[in-house]
Structure 1
């Protein structure tokens, strides 16, 4: 058996610090800016997406192992399908009044 060398998990620390920073930025944008509500929601949504990506790669180790790239492809396909469903639903619900 080979000797196990322990090293400091820098990627976990970086992911943790980035997650805390994004959360604090979202709080700052919400409480201390004069943006409109829709702009604040878009900014918070962008921070949330970026934080989800950070957590997938830093904490859940999506790319590690033999099937790492397959996991990433599956996640991207799921996101595309979810966006199609969301925007398709919005499109149908907002343009349905024209058929009446």
Structure 2
């Protein structure tokens, strides 16, 4: 799969003509892969909760999706506005969160 198009400043990716915040490029590859795995597991859990019509499980899974997206720098304070220590703390908090 080809890498998505980035805006000139590197802050956003363009997918199907829509702009989305890019993942923080300073997250080490191993940690970024772990965060993406947590994100995808949470997304699968959202789907399972929807199929089971379990509102509590859906709410919990969506909260985990949000936490992973924040840790990746795709939500919350923009990563380019954070200093290196804040960025590291953000993604480390995502890795330390209960699954």
TM over 0.5: no
With normalisation by structure 1, the TM-score equals 0.36
Q: Which has the higher strand share?
A: 2
Say which one has the larger Rg: 1
TM-score by length of 2: 0.37
**Between structures 1 and 2, the one with greater helix share:** 1
